[in-house]
Amino acid sequence: MKKLACLAVASASLLAFASPAAAQDVTGTVNITGTVAGKCLVQPGAGSTFGTTVALGELAQSDGTLATDLATRFTNIGAAGLEARVVCTTAAPTIAIDATEITSATLPVTGYANRIDFTAHVAVDTTTTNDVPFSNSSTVAPLAATLIGGRLANNGSNNITVTADSFATPNATDLLVAATDYTGKIVVVIGPGV
């Protein structure tokens, strides 16, 4: 037993004296934290708006009633301006649409019209589904903020496309009053949701 103790003393001493003193190593720890808020951006440029002006030109046919090709003209004239790339940092963004009829300040009499209603359509690409459809007619209340149903696609391509159709006067036989101030609009709001 004593021999064993003797060996232990010798070994411990060897370890203690045979190694050089260790350098003093110490550690510091820093934490970096931050947040990214829910938001939607128009890319490129991280803007907040997109859109264009669609000048439809002559709205009436030669007989004075509403032209029948306004949906096609809307798409062709609006062209790239009717598309946008919008990204949201959130997983459940929303969309709201408000289509306002095309009107003139010139008041009509019976058999005439100064109002053209239409339906606005917005197709939205998400990360899982292309062309998720939403719409609003100028004859009804605006579409309130509605869940799009997925995170907006962010693949470098446009993911919002606006179209319009179903242009109509209150009566199909109405003649449009002559005026140069016909205006309407489509407002699309993409929100981050919650």
Partner 1 sequence: MRAQIKSVFCALLGLAAASIASPANAQTTAYAVGQGSPNQIVLTIPVKASVGGRCGFKAGTAPSGTYNQPNFDVTGLNHDFVFELDCTGPSRVAVVSTNGGLKTAGSVPAGYTTLAPYTVALNLVGSSATATDSCLAATLVTGSTCAFLGPASTSVGLRLAASSINQSGSYLRVTAPPYSAASPQLVAGSYADTLTVTISASP
Instruction: State which residue, 7 or 105, has the beta carbon closest to partner 1.
Output: 7
Instruction: State which residue, 93 or 184, has the beta carbon closest to partner 1.
Output: 93
Q: Is 155 in the site for partner 1 (CB under 8 A)?
A: yes
Q: What is the DSSP string of 75-111?
A: HHHHGGGGEEEEEESSSS-EEEEEEEEEE-SSPP-TT
Q: Is 133 in the site for partner 1 (CB under 8 A)?
A: no
Q: Is 14 in the site for partner 1 (CB under 8 A)?
A: yes
Joined tokens for residue 59: 């709205």
167 near 70, Cβ under 8 Å? yes
Stretch that binds partner 1, among 10-18, 50-58, 97-105, 165-173 (CB under 8 A): 10-18
Burial of 126 (0-12, 13-18, 19+ CB in 10 A): middle
Residues forming contacts to partner 1 in the complex (CB under 8 A) are 2, 5-6, 9-10, 12-14, 16-18, 20-39, 41, 43-46, 87, 89-91, 127, 151, 153-156, 192
